Amino acid sequence: MAGRKKAVVLLSGGLDSATAMAIARNEGFDVYAMSFRYGQRHAIELECAEQQAQASAEEFRVVEIDLRAFGGSALTADIDVPKHDGVEELTDEIPVTYVPARNTVFLSYALAWAEVLGANDIFIGVNALDYSGYPDCRPEFIAAYEKMANLATVAGVKGQSLKIHTPLINLTKGEIIQLGLDLGVDYAKTTSCYDPASDGRACGHCDSCLLRKKGFADAGCRDPRPYMEG
């Protein structure tokens, strides 16, 4: 087992996971980036993930998942994405954009690849502050997943400890962006919009656009990603 430590990084094409990848590299890991094609209505997320991986990862794997087989969610089925005029309209309700058991499924693929690679580290850009409606973004979920993972694998049985890193979990969107800029993340290669135009421009009014805009405002810098309204 020569060379640097390996980490599997879950990459969505969004700004959180791009920042998590930069943190992994900054901590000395060689990055093995993994993304998922799961019936998204837009391919722009995977294009962004691939651009980021080309710049920063040793390998990049896209796993095909047909989550549509399980039924509804605004990100994967024909339900309208909710639009708002401001971030104050967001509620504590669990969003309709929730994909069933998404992080559980994604982490399970990451675990399988980590086991094959001999990697003991997985990075995931979950955030408990800005997305409190998703149960599988909470610290207690991640802790329980890590405990399970250490009982699931041959490496775990042999006493190697697998760690799931969530470096963004308690940061605000503004803090995440500031940290990423310090580490050289190119946020032009990230997309956040749930309902982008065919050329990749963001709608500016979905939950995710509102949180992103507020984050760049709080970080005091310009969002390099184009919006429909200019």
- Per CB under 8 A, residues contacting its own copies are 61, 63-64, 66-67, 69-72, 94, 98, 100-105, 107-109, 111-113, 115-116, 135-136, 138, 140-141, 144-145, 147-149, 151-154, 156-157
Environment class of 85 (CB within 10 Å of its CB; exposed 0-12, middle 13-18, buried 19+): exposed
* In 57-92, alpha helices (H): none
- Of 61 and 201, the one with the shorter C-beta distance to its own copies is 61
Q: How far is the CB of 144 from its own copies (least distance, A)?
A: 4
Q: What backbone torsions phi and psi does residue 228 show, to the nearest 5 degrees? A: -60, -40
From the list 78, 74, 46, the residue with the least C-alpha distance to 61 is 46
Nearer Cβ to its own copies, position 21 or 67?
67
From start to end of 66-125, where are the E strands? 121-123
* Assigned token pair, 48: 């962004």
Closest CB to its own copies among residues 152, 221: 152
- Taking the complex as a whole, how short is the minimal distance between the CB of residue 174 and its own copies, in angstroms? 27
Q: Which residues pair with 83 in a beta bridge?
A: 206
Bridge partners of residue 164, in order along the sequence: 122
Q: Which is nearer to its own copies, 115 or 207 (CB)?
A: 115
- 126 vs 179, which CB is nearer to its own copies? 126
Task: Map tokens 């580290």 to a residue.
Answer: 121
Could you tell me how far CA 38 lies from the centroid of its own chain? 14
Question: Could you tell me the smallest distance in angstroms from the CB atom of residue 60 to its own copies?
Answer: 12
Say which residues have a Cβ less than 8 Å from residue 191's Cβ, sequence separation at least 6.
13, 14, 44, 45, 48, 200, 202, 225
User: What minimum distance in Å lies between the beta carbon of 138 and its own copies?
Assistant: 7
- Classify the phi-psi angles of 208: left when phi > 0, otherwise alpha if psi is within -120 to 50, otherwise beta: alpha
Instruction: State the minimum distance, in angstroms, from the CB of residue 102 to its own copies.
Output: 8
The distance of closest approach from Cβ of residue 150 to its own copies in the complex, given in angstroms and rounded to an integer, is 8
Nearer to its own copies (CB atom), residue 2 or residue 151: 151
Q: Which is nearer to its own copies, 19 or 103 (CB)?
A: 103
CA distance 165 to 174: 20
Smallest distance from the beta carbon of 188 to its own copies, in angstroms? 29
